[in-house]
Amino acid sequence: MTLTPLQFHALLPFILPRSPAGRQIGDLRARMEAIFHLACTTDPWRCLPPEHGRPDTVSRYFRRLTHAGLWERLLVAIKDNDPKHPLNQIAPLIFRACRRAVRLRGLKFVALIRRLGFLQALNGPPSKVPDPDLSERMRRTVWMPPAPETPRQHDLYLDLVHTLRRMHRQASGVIHIPRALRLGWS
């Protein structure tokens, strides 16, 4: 995927132009194209084609961008921008890169993705990925009744406990999403 000049200039204010040591990064556009190229595949970093540069250099830059909060800022910018903005043209690429960043950013990132409504940026089907907001809503709104006294109350109490368990499982997601399901999710 090659970025047009307009798309790259829309992306430029968000990316890091220097390394932590202060050195200027050579070709930012080539690095971003390499990240987007790999994000659109299921390959590991080591399979990056040679024309995109060294895999360890590109993956290190991806991790730096991720830890600097690039993907969060881009998602918020996409949400706030005009639909014709050049950043929205590369939104699918950004969503694919966000899928790789989820492992580095954790549940807060997943919660942000869900709050913004960009479910295609999740690293699996929404029913399999944790929903931190649901667990917080459950914690604040669920009221447990007193211990049951009659058999009828006992049955209702057990139904409530089973429902809460199902909701908790849904909120916590699946421990391991099968590779075929994760890669087939689009």
Q: Quick one: 101 and 132 in the same domain?
A: no
- Residues 32-80 pLDDT 10s: 999 999 988 888 899 999 998 899 999 999 999 999 999 999 999 999 9
Average pLDDT of the chain to the nearest whole number: 84
CB atoms under 10 Å from CB of 48, counted, come to 21
One domain for residues 115 and 169: no
Structural domain boundaries enclosing 49:
1-120
pTM of the model: 0.78
Q: Which pLDDT score is estimated for 138? A: 65
Average pLDDT rounded to a whole number, residues 83-102: 91
pLDDT value for 95 = 94
φ, ψ for residue 18, nearest 5 deg: -130, 155
Flag whether pLDDT at 142 surpasses 70: no
Question: Does one domain contain both 23 and 106?
Answer: yes
**In the listed set 120, 152, 174, which residue is the last one of a domain according to the structure?**
120
Domain count, the chain: 2
Is 153 found in the same domain as 94? no
Token pair, residue 161, equals 């406990």
The whole-number average pLDDT for the span 148-153 is 82
Same domain as 114, residue 131 = no
Q: Are residues 148 and 68 in the same domain?
A: no
Please list, in sequence order, all residues whose beta carbon lies within 8 angstroms of the beta carbon of residue 11, skipping any fewer than 6 positions away: 3, 32, 74, 87, 90
Length of the chain: 186
70-97: average pLDDT: 93
